[in-house]
Structure 1
């Protein structure tokens, strides 16, 4: 059993990689961070399609939190005042808004600072863009 949570992110996305690097350097969360491309997804209990879609926080017990709630968990594991911010992101109304903001950022991450065309989410199988 793992001792620390794992943050799983898209290692091909410059925006994602930069964001994780920033978090590790400035927030110092208590977790391991790994690109999904190098993670043992089966061992973590994650489908590749989900890992392509959103950042994931996997607890040592195997619970998986995605998107804005993964960010909330990362913040709650950090030092300073960040756990308060993370806890706020879990409140019902704030959680709903945070997930919406997360989806907007995820859909537009190639346009974010440091983003490139490689940051674009892969198209869904149904022909619609991912959300």
Structure 2
């Protein structure tokens, strides 16, 4: 079968997320890389209770929830409970975290535009107290 669009086809590969930026286990499958555009799209699955560290994105990020239940929280704001079909638009430079509820897997697409500006600025871990408060 020919590829009439001449777009290189590469199989997606799933890798464990970097332990230094996550509490618990999360898996990332890159669906679109910056080699074709200045945007990446990753399919990220968090095991129950897993979350990423506080971080920001120089060019912002869009999250689209595809499975499970999770949370998104901006520094200084209450956490938002997320379910399938929810989407979050994160402005450039906004410090936040996201991850799974304690009793559910959580999967979202992470869309990162303008990655030539950088993908993420990783900060400190989300404490157990901060995580538990999200469930309140």
Range class of TM-score, shorter chain: under 0.3
- TM-score, with structure 1 as normaliser: 0.24
Look at both structures and tell me which one has the larger radius of gyration over its CA atoms. Answer: 2
- The structure where strand makes up a greater share of residues is 2
- TM-score, with structure 2 as normaliser: 0.23
- The structure where helix makes up a greater share of residues is 1
